[in-house]
A and B are shown apart, each in its own frame.
Chain A
Amino acid sequence: MQEIFGVPAPLLFGQLLIGLINGSFYALLSLGLAVIFGVLNIINFAHGALYMMGAFVAWLLLNYLGIGYWPGLILAPLIVGAVGIVIERAMLSHLYDLDHLYGLLLTFGLALIIEGTFINFYGVSGQPYAPPEILNGGYNLGFMFLPKYRAWVIVASLAVCLGTWLLIERTRLGAYLRAAVERPDLVRAFGINVPLMMTLTYGFAVGLAGFAGILAAPVYTVSPIMGQNLIIVVFAIVVIGGLGSILGSIVTGLGIGLIEGLTRTFYPEASSTVVFVIMAIVLILRPNGLFGRPRE
C-alpha cells in the first residue's frame, strides 16, 4: 500500500476529507459570525445553538411532516432565519447602544435556553438522519473513496460562502450594508432603513447557520449538543482569521479543518486542541488575526 510519511495514503486522504467537511461547516459558521459582527457589532453566542436548530428542524420536518431533504434544505434555513429575526427584533435591537459584551451575554443566555429545551425533549443522544437517495454511494477516485454526500456538502457550502461574499462585496445591497457598517447615521440620512437591514442581516446570517445544520444532519447525528463545542472552535477560528474580512473567515475555516485532519492523522491526541494552539500563536505574532485590520 502506498504510504505518505509512514501513513497509508487512503487513511491520510480520508482524514483530509473529514477535515475539509469540518472546514466547510467552520467556514459557513464563521462567515455568519463575521457578517453579524460586522453589521450589528455583536458576537452571536447562539450561533452553535441555531446551527443545531437547523439540523433539528430538518429532522422534525422529516419525522412529523414527511418533508424530505431537498425541501428541508430551503425550509430549515428559512425557519431558523425567522427565529433569528424574532430574536433580533425582540431582544438584540435593545442592546445596540450598550457595550458589545451585553450582546455576547444575551446570546449566551439564548444558547442555554435553546439547547436546554431541545435536551429536555430529545435527550443528548443523537438521532439519525439519512442522506437523500440520489446522494447515496460514492466515487472511486483511485487513491480514495469519496462518498457522494460528502462531496455535495463541500460543493454546497463553498457555493453558499462564495455567494454570500459576492452578495456583500459585489452588489448594490452589499454596498449599502458595507456603508451602514462604517457610518450608519449617514446611510440613514440617505433614506435607507438601517434597522431593517440589521434585522435582515441577522436573519440571513442565522439562516446560514441553519443551512449548515441541515447539511450536517446526515454527516453527524442530529443531537441537541452538536453545536456546543463547535461554537467555541468557530470562535477560535474567528480570532485566528480576524473579524475584518469575509473571505478571510472562509479561508481560515477551511484551513483549520484541513489542519485538524492532518493532526488527526499524525498526532491524534492533539486534534481537538490544535486550533486553540494555533490561535495562541497567531495572537502572539499577529494580534489582529491573519486577515484582520487593526482596531481602534
Chain B
Amino acid sequence: MTDTAMKPATGLRGRRFVTPVLALLGIALLIAAPFFGIYPVFLMKLLCFALFACAFNLMLGFVGLLSFGHAAFFGMAAYVTGHAVKAWELNTVLGIGAGTAVAGVMGLVFGAIAIRQKGVYFAMITLALAQMVYFFCLQVPFTHGEDGIQGIPRGTVFGLFDLRDTLTMYYFVAAVFLVGIFVIYRTVHSPFGQALKGIRENEARMISLGYPVALLKVLAFTMSAALTGLAGSTKAIVFQTATLTDVNWHMSGEVVLMTLIGGMGTIFGPVVGAGVIIALQNYLATIGSWVTVVMGTIFVICVLTFRRGIVGEILARWPKKG
C-alpha cells in the first residue's frame, strides 16, 4: 500500500450539534418532498439508489475495500423479493426481508472467498463472482431470463397500508431508507465501525492489537451486502420489476460512480452522488445510449481531478474547531 492510499475526507470535529440538526432537516425534507411537485417515483428511485450507494460505501469508504460486484446483491435481492411476492404471495415486508436475507448470505459467501485479498484483487474477484451470479440469473427459470420478473404486486404492509397508493409507497420507501441510513450511521460510529476504520488506516497494526481483522471484514461485507439487498428489494417493489439490468456489472460500476462523485467515506456523500447520477440519467434519457459515454466521462474527470467527491470537498473546507 502506498501512503497516499484512498483516504476519505476526515475532519468535522465539533459537529455535535450539526448532526442532529441536519438529520431533522433531512427527515423534514423527506416528508415534505412529494408536496414540492417532485415526481414521487423519481424520489423513490433516488432513495433506493442512495441506500444502495451508502451500503456500498460502508465497504469502500470505511473498510477501504472496493467491491466491483455489488450489483449481484442488489439484483439478486430484487429477484428473490419479486419471486416471493409474486409466486409465493408473501407479504411485501416479508418479501423484502427474504431478499435482504439472501443478499446477506451471498455477502457472507463472497466475503469468505474474497476477503484475504486486497486492493485491485478484491475488486477483480468480486467482479468475477458477480458475473457468475449474472450468468446464474440468466439461466435459472425463476428469473425468467431476458424478460425478468414483471408485474410484481406492490401489496400491503401486513394489510395496514396499501402500497398501491403512490404516496403511501413513497413514505414506505422513505422509512426503509431512514432505517438503512440509521443502521449504517450507528455501525460507523460504533466500536465495530471504529475497528473497521482502523483496518482501513493500518491493517497490520490492527492485527497486532489482536483484532480478528478477517472476521470483521467479512461481517462488514455481509452487512453491506444485506443493506444493498434491502435497497434492491425495495426497488423491485417500487418498479414492480426485477430484470437482468440490476445484476449486470454496469450496475456495479454505477454505484461506484455514485459513491465516488458524492464522496467516499462520508455518510451522506453517496446520497448526494446517487442524487446527481439519477437526476442526470433522468435528464439525459433523451440522448439514449450516449448516457454511457457521459457516465464514463464523469468517471474519468472524477478520478483525475475530483477524488474527494462533492461532500468530501465540502467537509475538507469546513472550518475545523480545535
Contact = CB atoms under 8 A, between A and B. Distances in A.
A97 B6 CA distance: 11
B124 A106 contact: no
Contacts of B127: 232, 235
Give the interface SS of chain B, mostly helix, strand, loop or mixed. helix
B299 A235 contact: no
Contacts of A109: 295-300, 302-303
Given A98-B4, A239-B124, A280-B129, A287 B303 contact: no
B296 A113 contact: yes
Contacts of A104: 66, 68, 120, 123
Contact of A102 (B249, B297, B303): B303
Contact of B4 (A91, A97, A279): A97
Given A104-B66, A116-B290, A99 B6 contact: yes
Nearest to A284: B113
Contacts of B304: 91, 94-95, 106
A113 B249 contact: no
Nearest to A87: B300
A119 interface: yes
Interface string A66-95: 000000000000000000000000010011
A112 B302 CA distance: 14
Interface in B14-45: none
Contacts of B242: none
B139 interface: yes
B253 interface: yes
B114 interface: yes
Interface stretch (A53-61, A186-194, A268-276): A268-276
A273 B135 contact: yes
A43 B292 contact: no
B5 A110 contact: no
A197 interface: no
A43 B300 contact: no
B121 interface: yes
B293 A276 contact: no
Interface string B118-137: 01110111011101100110
Given A120-B289, A287-B117, A276 B66 contact: no
B120 A43 contact: yes
Nearest to B254: A112
B128 A232 contact: yes
B9 to A, nearest CB: 15
Most interface-central of A97, A116, A277, A287 (chain B CB within 10 A): A116
Contacts of A251: none
Given A109-B299, A115-B292, A283-B117, A235 B256 contact: no
A189 to B, nearest CB: 20
A196 interface: no
Contacts of B292: 112-113, 115-116, 119
Interface string A111-125: 111111101100000
A132 to B, nearest CB: 33
Contacts of B131: 229, 232-233, 236, 276
Contacts of A273: 132, 135-136
Contact of A100 (B114, B120, B132, B290): B120
Interface string B229-256: 0000000000000000000010001001
B300 A119 contact: no
A275 B132 CA distance: 9
Contacts of A111: 296
B116 interface: yes
B2 interface: yes
Given A43-B124, A109-B297, A283 B135 contact: no
A269 B136 CA distance: 9
B129 A113 contact: no
A135 to B, nearest CB: 33
A204 to B, nearest CB: 21
A116 to B, nearest CB: 3
Nearest to B140: A269
Contacts of B123: 43, 101, 104
Given A100-B120, A101-B6, A232-B131, A95 B136 contact: no
Most interface-central of A109, A269, A279, A287 (chain B CB within 10 A): A109
B124 A95 contact: no
Contact of B5 (A95, A99, A106): A99
Nearest to A242: B121
A112 B6 contact: no
Given A113-B297, A287-B116, A276 B6 contact: no
Which 3 pairs across A and B sit closest by C-beta, in order of nearness? A109-B299, A112-B296, A116-B292
Interface of A: 37, 43, 91, 94-95, 97-106, 108-117, 119-120, 229, 232-233, 235-236, 238-239, 269, 272-273, 275-277, 279-280, 283-284, 287
20 contacts: A43-B123, A43-B124, A97-B4, A98-B4, A102-B307, A104-B66, A106-B304, A109-B295, A113-B292, A113-B300, A116-B293, A119-B289, A119-B292, A120-B288, A120-B289, A232-B128, A235-B124, A273-B132, A280-B113, A283-B125
